[in-house]
Amino acid sequence: MSLEDLDWIPLQSQITYTDLQGNQYIRVICKKQELTRDQDEVHKGAKAEVLANFVQVQNANLVLNGKLVF
């Protein structure tokens, strides 16, 4: 199976937290994310601010790990 054959991908987010009494919990959220190949649909749903923040974090990590030099 190739990437072109995929119609969806599984996503999972794990959130850990401690309540006011000190009890620790984990919340697992699972989602089946549909994929699209329609560029207009992708651009319409894109959140530029979220993408820009992601790029900034990735660049900072590259600099910190010595993999990106200015």
Task: Give the pLDDT confidence of 10-60 residue by residue, as tens digits.
Answer: 999 999 999 999 999 999 999 999 888 888 877 777 788 888 888 999 999
Q: Are 26 and 14 in contact (CB under 8 A)?
A: yes
Mean pLDDT of 4-12: 89
Q: Show the tokens assigned to 59.
A: 């660049």
Look up the pTM and report it.
0.46
Q: Which pLDDT value is given to residue 70?
A: 63
Considering only residues 66 and 20, tell me which one the structure prediction assigns the higher pLDDT: 20
Listed residue (47, 46, 12, 5) closest to 32, CA to CA = 12
The torsion angles phi and psi of 36, rounded to 5 degrees, stand at: -135, 155
Q: Which pLDDT value is given to residue 69?
A: 67
Q: Show the tokens assigned to 38.
A: 């329609």
